[in-house]
Structure 1
Amino acid sequence: MIDYFAANLWQLWVLVTVVCLILELTSGDLFILCFSIGALVTAVLSAFGLGFYGQLAVFVVASVLSLLFVRPSLVRRLHGRKKERLSNADALIGRIGRVSEAIEQGGYGRVAIDGDDWKAVSSDGTYVPMGQNVRVVGRESIIITVEKA
């Protein structure tokens, strides 16, 4: 059994590649992707008969090189040159939405943005009728602050 695993270590590296890709889907930071690249390079070389310690060395070197060269390039391409990457509710600031439930004077209403419905308050406390287009100017917890667009 051990002889089979020793002769077919490339399968283990392919498994490591797939597991790292699945884990990358949960994080989205492109960090684990570098280890997946390292494992893929190691799987290819392992299939050509590279020894176990050589495989470990290739995995470490390929992963480090990916961290140094591939990840920064991908992050720059996906997120632009902005230092701060907005996500979730913070990405709503500046977006345009439509009032789905009238915002009462000094009270709350609802605003639909990209299929999501958010509890909203007017920035100046005025009444905003249903159907009015509004721009998100702030967020406090799960309540967005809007102004007429």
Structure 2
Amino acid sequence: MLDWINEFGWIFWLTVFLLLAVAEMLTLNLYFILMSVGALAALVAFLFGADLWLQIVIFCVVALATTVLIRPLALAHLKRGPADQLSNVDRLIGHRAVVLETVGTGGGLVKIGGDIWTARITGGAELPVGASVEVSAIDGATAIVSGPTTHKSSGTAATTA
């Protein structure tokens, strides 16, 4: 086996590279892709005629160095942006919704923006059709809403229906 690796090491290191790249595609944790860089470095060492022990050392050193030095920078770059920046359905929390079908603790329908959502109320009485409510949370595909919203105008609160 060692004779084969010494003769066809480029196939061995290319296979290791591809397996690690596939593992990275399945896990997406930035470990395997950095280890695959080590396999490419070992492949280059093979092409320059390095002994097998040196190829293995190069693989280990490059894989460790990229994991220790590059991974934290890559993760910081991926997580860059305002911490309060919301995505997907979390953006709907705090938005106004209009009741399309009476909403109670058992359910109902509301319109948030241009989309129709199933909804339930957190507590209190049922909300009638046409009531303006606020989305307080999202639970799966259900909007959790809280009673009629109030708008402040000239110092007094007015309930909108």
> What is the total number of aligned residue pairs between the two structures?
136
Structure 2 counterpart of 1:92, from 89, 94, 98: 89
Percent identical among aligned pairs is 22
Q: Which has the higher helix share?
A: 1
Q: What TM-score do the two structures reach when normalised by structure 1? A: 0.66
SS for the counterpart of 2:15 is helix
CA contact (8 A) 1:16 1:36 kept: yes
Unaligned 5+ segments in structure 1 are none
Unaligned 5+ segments in structure 2 are 150-161
Tell me the residue number matched to 1:30. 30
CA RMSD, aligned part only?
4.0
Tell me the residue number matched to 1:7. 7
SS for the counterpart of 2:120 is strand
Tell me the residue number matched to 1:126. 127
Residues 5 and 75 of structure 1, relative CA distance in 2, 3 Å threshold: same
Q: Larger relative contact order (C-alpha < 8 A, sep ≥ 6)? A: 1
Match of 2:63, as an amino acid? S
CA contact (8 A) 2:138 2:144 kept: yes
Instruction: Work out which of the two has the higher radius of gyration on C-alpha atoms and give 1 or 2.
Output: 2
Q: How does 1:100-119 map to 2 (within 5 A)?
A: 102=100, 104-106=102-104, 107-109=107-109, 119=118
Residues 57 and 64 of structure 1, relative CA distance in 2, 3 Å threshold: same
Q: What TM-score do the two structures reach when normalised by structure 2? A: 0.61
Q: Which has the higher strand share?
A: 2
